[in-house]
Structure 1
Amino acid sequence: MPDKDAGTPRVFLIRHGETEWTISGRYTGRSDIPLTPHGEEQVAASREVIVGPGKIIDPSRLAHLFISPRTRAQRTFEILFDEKTRKEIGAQAEITEDIREWEYGLYEGLLTAQIRAGRKERGLDTERPWNIWHDGCEEGETAAEVATRLDRIISKIREIQAPYMHGEKGVDVIIIAHGHILRAFAKRWIGFELGMRLPMMLEPGAVGVLSYEHHKVDEPAFLLGVNMGGT
């Protein structure tokens, strides 16, 4: 059966490698926590399999990269691409606060159980437990604020990719960021409100893929599986 969507542009969601707070489950937004040695190994392992000429992420087919300003995301970028490649794609790399992690406000550095206990003490959540997708973060961001900045990036990506929906030119895009914000991005990519239930997992150092159906920019989709042999 022929691949009817072959050549369609893709967006690669790359989560930074493990940090000490990833291990403990603490909410890590603005805190600049470095990768652990194992976190660097996670990213390097992904690089060996999927990054390089003729592989899934082929630097020659990249049109743009959106990278979080946090050290853990910057280091992930450095591991994914060697110095020569970083120089070649440097003009396409954009470090932007629009793809930073969710602003957790009062919840920075806490565990979910601690957040819920604290909110209960303050008389909140009398009918159901706290849920970031619905309730946002005290002194941090609401879901609507997160969606607004993610939609700006999505609009930029669609402008880049729309003219080349049949593979006329390599216009793949990479986003290197964080666990919550990348899952939020995936929801907005397919037009979901952030409060809509869509359980997703993205391990540290892992790669997710988004694309389009039928070579149409107005039909964004998840790409549930990719051929590991590349393009």
Structure 2
Amino acid sequence: MTFDRARRATLPFFAFIRHGETDWNAEGRMQGRKDIPLNDKGRGQAARNGEALKALLERDGIDLGGLDFVASPLSRTRETMEILRERLGLDPAAYRLDERLVEIGFGLWEGRTMEELASEDAERAAARRADKWGFLPPDGESYAMLSERIGGWLSTLDRPSVIVAHGGVMRVLRGLLIDMPTREIPVLDVPQDKVFLWRDGRDGWV
């Protein structure tokens, strides 16, 4: 399903959090669908985001009971969500999972760094540098394909929500919400220590 950009102004409030750091993030490895756990820094980032979100919700009088909490099924997103909910004073386990929010798949490249791939698979690495949006890793998924998947999910968003997912998902989500060339979307900054907000047709961070 393609997301209707005309609907952006009517989307409900939501907060999007990228999972905290993992060792593979720190090493620059393509993580994709591999189920890599948070490291201690990542747990601290999740706690920080929970505190920041709590302060925002309290300041703006947003009722926790009216929020839908949903996460990607990978363990790094589940642990981030559980830390977040604990900081909000909620049952850590009382949230739902959505397979559509899983990270972009890097296929056979998962676990590799770009430096390794530049040596081991130079032709494909060069093709990715030339067109990161459309490039399809072996047995993987392109950013263009991911955008279609996340656009379908976004089309179903019908209540205020707190979402925990991944860096690639955050990139294409922002690309769907904010007009920009597709070449810019795969290189957007995706902080693990900030909360992305969408409210009243505008984006922000906390």
Q: Give the TM-score normalised by structure 1.
A: 0.71
Match of 1:187 in 2: 175
Query: 2:171 and 2:25 mapped to 1: Cα distance?
Result: 15
From the superposition, tell whether residues 176 and 55 of structure 1 become closer, same or farther in structure 2 (CA, over 3 Å): farther
1:14 matched to 2:1: no
Query: 1:128 and 1:107 mapped to 2: Cα distance?
Result: 12
- Aligned amino acid, residue 149 of structure 1: R
Shift of 1:119: 3.3
Match of 2:134 in 1: 134
Unaligned runs of 5+ in 1: 1-7, 161-170, 214-220, 227-231
SS at 1:154's partner residue?
A: helix
How many residue pairs were aligned?
192
CA radius of gyration, larger in: 1
Asked if the contact 1:116/1:130 (under 8 Å) is kept, the reply is: no
Match of 1:72 in 2: 76
Unaligned runs of 5+ in 2: 1-10
Alpha-carbon deviations, 1:48-83, whole Å to 9, x = none?
Answer: 232266146752341x23311110100011101129
Shift of 1:135: 0.7
Q: 2:161 aligns with which of 162, 168, 173?
A: 173
Moved over 4 A (4+): 55-58, 123-128
Q: 2:192 aligns with which of 200, 204, 209?
A: 204
Match of 1:105 in 2: 107
- Aligned amino acid, residue 119 of structure 2: A
- Aligned amino acid, residue 224 of structure 1: G
Q: 1:114 aligns with which of 113, 116, 120?
A: 116
Q: 1:96 aligns with which of 98, 105, 109?
A: 98
Alpha-carbon deviations, 1:7-34, whole Å to 9, x = none?
Answer: x832211011111011111111121111
SS at 1:210's partner residue?
A: strand
Alpha-carbon deviations, 1:160-197, whole Å to 9, x = none?
Answer: 1xxxxxxxxxx42122011122111211234667x332
Shift of 1:145: 2.3
More helix by share: 2
Structure 1 vs Structure 2: percent identity of aligned residues?
A: 27
- Aligned amino acid, residue 35 of structure 1: L
Query: 1:14 and 1:113 mapped to 2: Cα distance?
Result: 28
Deviates more, 1:33-42 or 1:204-213: 204-213
Match of 1:47 in 2: 50
